[in-house]
Structure 1
């Protein structure tokens, strides 16, 4: 990754090439799209807003030509520019100016809020639209005898109610992953270890935790308050990231073998979504009790 980041920072043409090529490759391997967005983040963080915009524009044009040649339409490249690169550019600019990863993470949640608002404006009944989109999946599972037809209808109906918030949360979490990758690249090249220290210090303040607590109460008391559910889902990734930061901080404080981190991420994959909920719970608790400071003080004592 360091060699790729180094190649990207050699000049505008190299950054454009990496961003455009990885964006097109993501049509085959979706996760490669994070690299294209990370390039925009890295250039913006290191060289400023103007250079980030220029690289994004050039990469969008180059990607449009590639998409037109391969698919007969430039729209996939336009989608990358407007939906992924532009928000990441904004986040990179916020982080560059404010030098606060916590503030930037919270700003990212606003993009999720825009997604929820957009879906609400465009769809009269978002849950019904999600059920329609999920119907082919439900039918294939029933035909494969994976799940009973009656049970599948209940599960899809329940999932459809959560999909708007979950989709918005996943969207801005993807933006943050790209930003983190760009910040990590910047640290590898110019400030070794800097991103690790920055991420371990990530802590969402109680000013965000209190609204989350209020939304949780509303969700428990009012089953039909979907707006509260969607907003709570938007805030959940903030506390999940904070919980992950706590784990990294504990491993660093006690100089534990990195194998613990590998096991931790493996658990997140194997025990989805229960492990994520538990980690987010620790992050939520940390907003009040500051677990890392208490652990550090106990270790010194």
Structure 2
């Protein structure tokens, strides 16, 4: 992957080939977004625009054929990259990704309205089996409210997947930038990532209170969970780097996350919230890879 990053940064033509080619190929839109974010982070928005503009053509073509993901992830990742370049703050990037997720949800809800509603209808049929006797204890109004939450929650889940994809694409671009110009810088940034108490509490409130404030706001539940989950991952990386946890914890975390996501994902969110209040890593300065990952001093 480093060789690909070196090729992208070799010149405008090479960067254009990678960004446009990846956008045109199926399921490689994340690579296009990562390469575009690398150019933006290193050279700025002006140079990146001339390259990314060509990638809009295949992205719009994919949208025309019913798949808006390429354009959404490309533009969303570049927006987050510009925010990171301006602030050098992953905390702001992750919290800002919630707003990006809301935009994703609005677009996906419009483009995929029929499939989402069909899936929600199938889930409604399975609800009696899934909830069992608990459903019988709900009033008719509560059952109707529960059914009304299905479409927004499904839309939010789809948007959260693109939100995660955008953050991961940006992380890949930032990792490439650090590998080329400031080795260790990206690792230092991620290990130091921690949400202050107020943003963490607001994200938790968005997850828990969104559905009760209105059916449409139920989409906030999956969207607000993404920054907390990434922060929980950063916490584990930071503790391992400080030697407070063995490396096997890191390997085990990713293995169990893949196998038992429904259990590990909420645990990461809980860790992020508790860390915002306690700060497990303390105020120690990282020993290596200090400074931002851009390598520009």
TM category (shorter chain) comes to 0.7 to 0.9
Residue equivalent to 1:51: 47
Q: Unaligned stretches of 5+ in structure 1?
A: 68-72, 143-147
How do 1:103-142 residues align onto structure 2 when only pairs under 5 Å count? Answer: 103-117=92-106, 130-133=116-119
Residue equivalent to 1:184: 175
Report the Cα offset of residue 168 of structure 1: 2.3
Report the TM-score, using the length of structure 2 for normalisation: 0.77
Residue equivalent to 2:140: none
Equivalent residues of 1:17, 1:59 under 8 A apart:
no
- Provide, for residues 57-91 of structure 1, a one-character-per-residue CA deviation record: whole Å limited to 9, x for no partner: 12334x479x6xxxxx8846994664222222221
| TM-aligned CA distance change 1:9 to 1:24, over 3 Å | same
Report the Cα offset of residue 118 of structure 1: 5.1
How far apart in 2 are the matches of 1:3 and 1:290? 37
Equivalent residues of 2:191, 2:234 under 8 A apart:
yes
Runs of 4 or more off by more than 6 Å in structure 1?
152-156
Equivalent residues of 1:200, 1:248 under 8 A apart:
yes
Residue equivalent to 1:238: 227
Equivalent residues of 2:30, 2:73 under 8 A apart:
no
Residue equivalent to 2:129: 151
Report the Cα offset of residue 257 of structure 1: 5.8
Out of 56, 61, 83, the residue aligned to residue 60 of structure 1 is 56
- Provide, for residues 10-56 of structure 1, a one-character-per-residue CA deviation record: whole Å limited to 9, x for no partner: 0111111111222233x2xx2x3211100110000000001111110
Equivalent residues of 1:199, 1:245 under 8 A apart:
yes
**Structure 2 SS opposite 1:254:** coil
How far apart in 1 are the matches of 2:107 and 2:128? 32
How far apart in 1 are the matches of 2:245 and 2:127? 48
How far apart in 2 are the matches of 1:180 and 1:249? 16
- Across the two proteins, how many residue pairs are aligned to each other? 271
Identify the structure with bigger relative contact order (alpha carbons < 8 Å, sequence gap 6+): 2
- Provide, for residues 130-169 of structure 1, a one-character-per-residue CA deviation record: whole Å limited to 9, x for no partner: 2314668x7xxx9xxxxx8963799996754521222222
Equivalent residues of 2:232, 2:272 under 8 A apart:
yes
Aligned: 1:172 with 2:172 = no
After alignment, is 252-261 or 150-159 more displaced?
150-159
How far apart in 1 are the matches of 2:185 and 2:256? 26
Report the Cα offset of residue 270 of structure 1: 0.5
Equivalent residues of 1:102, 1:203 under 8 A apart:
yes
**Structure 2 SS opposite 1:273:** helix
- Provide, for residues 86-116 of structure 1, a one-character-per-residue CA deviation record: whole Å limited to 9, x for no partner: 2222211111111111112211211112234
Residue equivalent to 1:250: 239
How far apart in 2 are the matches of 1:93 and 1:245? 21
Question: What is the root-mean-square deviation of aligned Cα atoms in Å?
Answer: 3.6
How far apart in 2 are the matches of 1:211 and 1:89? 25
Report the TM-score, using the length of structure 1 for normalisation: 0.76
Residue equivalent to 1:163: 154
